[in-house]
Amino acid sequence: MTILVTGGAGYIGSHTCVELLSAGFEVIILDNFVNSHPEVISRIEKITGKGLAVINGDVRDQALVEECLKKYSCTAVMHFAGLKAVGDSVKNPLAYYDNNFVGTHRLLLAMQNCGVEKIVFSSSATVYGEPQYLPITEDHPLTATNPYGRSKLFIEEMLRDFHHANPSWKIALLRYFNPAGAHESGLIGEDPMGLPNNLMPYIAQVATGRREYLSIWGNDYATHDGTGVRDYIHVVDLALGHLKALQQLNSSKSLCLNLGAGIGYSVLDIVHTFEKTSGKKIPYQIDKRRFGDIAVCYADPTLARESLDWVARRDLVAICKDHWRWQKQNPEGYA
């Protein structure tokens, strides 16, 4: 089975490529490297001892995608390619609708023209907006509070409409909560370009001394310590969830699943656990809330457990330990 992995050089895509190759799949990466480094490819090959084909291209290039699908006789697509920075999406909304929504639209046209009818799509807990209840189940109302989240929600709606018209397709919508951590080898990990938006990579860069201190965006939320609570899921658990979803698509109906640990940790919980596992002090200062942030968000992962026989097995200590090993071994990322 040959899988086209769009955005496969990225954080989650690269970890998923490792698991796909280790499970015996052939992997073709299509990536324009707008937010990743070519060095990732050799790291994936080093970890797995297997080769993979890489096309430096854009998922919006329909002719290129069709050429890849045909040339490599791909049987399914894992679609990670996308822009994901919420703050940037507020400033540049058209870039996010073009890259994420139009990109997915073009990909579907290419797949349809090539008779490839299986896709696993990277959705996000951001489609739930402000939680109306917790833990969040898959039938929670959908909304979005920023252009990035709306691009994901619109893609989900397009996929639901498309599936209604083409019921033979197998589509998995996987809603990730907060991915973190890194492969145990320390060879691949999260390597944000510029200032990290997300908590874990920022903490890791404070630990290496690349950043002076962590700004904690608000400690006046209605949580046990006042700081924001999120559901952190180890990126390897997330990758394994993709493998299970793909295998499930081969045998059954389409899926829409939360991929989360089902546990909420606060910002200070993360800081303290990271300090304990790394032995590094993480200086921080309390700043005002970040616009658009919600207080608490964590998943009910029951449906994924029942549908995929999958659970997030790596705990917060493993997340912090693995994330720190990657950052310590690669203080400047892949550069």
DSSP string covering 307-329:
HHS------HHHHHHHHHHHHHH
Could you say which of 11, 97, 128, 148 is catalytic? 148
* Run of H or E residues at 204: helix 199-207
Q: Is residue 72 annotated as a catalytic residue, yes or no?
A: no
Can you tell me which of 1, 2, 22, 34 binds ligand NAD, judged by CB under 6 A? 34
Pair of tokens at residue 180? 């973190």
Residue tagged 């090993």 (tokens): 325
Give the x/- contact pattern for ligand WQD in 229-268, rule: CB under 6 A: -x------------------------------------x-
Q: 293: exposed, middle or buried (C-beta count within 10 Å: 0-12, 13-18, 19+)?
A: middle
243 touches ligand NAD (CB under 6 A): no
Tracing tokens 């990909």 back to the chain, one arrives at: 107
Residue 40 amino acid letter: V
* Residue list 56-115, contact with ligand WQD (CB under 6 A): 84, 86
Q: Of 34-42, 66-74, 137-145, 223-231, which part binds ligand NAD (CB under 6 A)?
A: 34-42
Nearest to 15 by CA among 47, 49, 39, 38: 47
CB of 210 to ligand WQD, least distance (A): 13
* CB-nearest residue to ligand NAD: 10
Interaction of residue 199 with ligand WQD, rule CB under 6 A: yes
Please give the structure tokens belonging to residue 227: 């700081």
Residue 41 near residue 9, CB atoms below 8 Å: yes
- Footprint on this chain of ligand WQD (rule: CB under 6 A): 84, 86, 124, 126, 178, 197-199, 202, 214-217, 228, 230, 267, 290, 293
- Footprint on this chain of ligand NAD (rule: CB under 6 A): 6-7, 9-13, 30-36, 58-60, 80-84, 99, 103, 122, 124, 176, 178-179
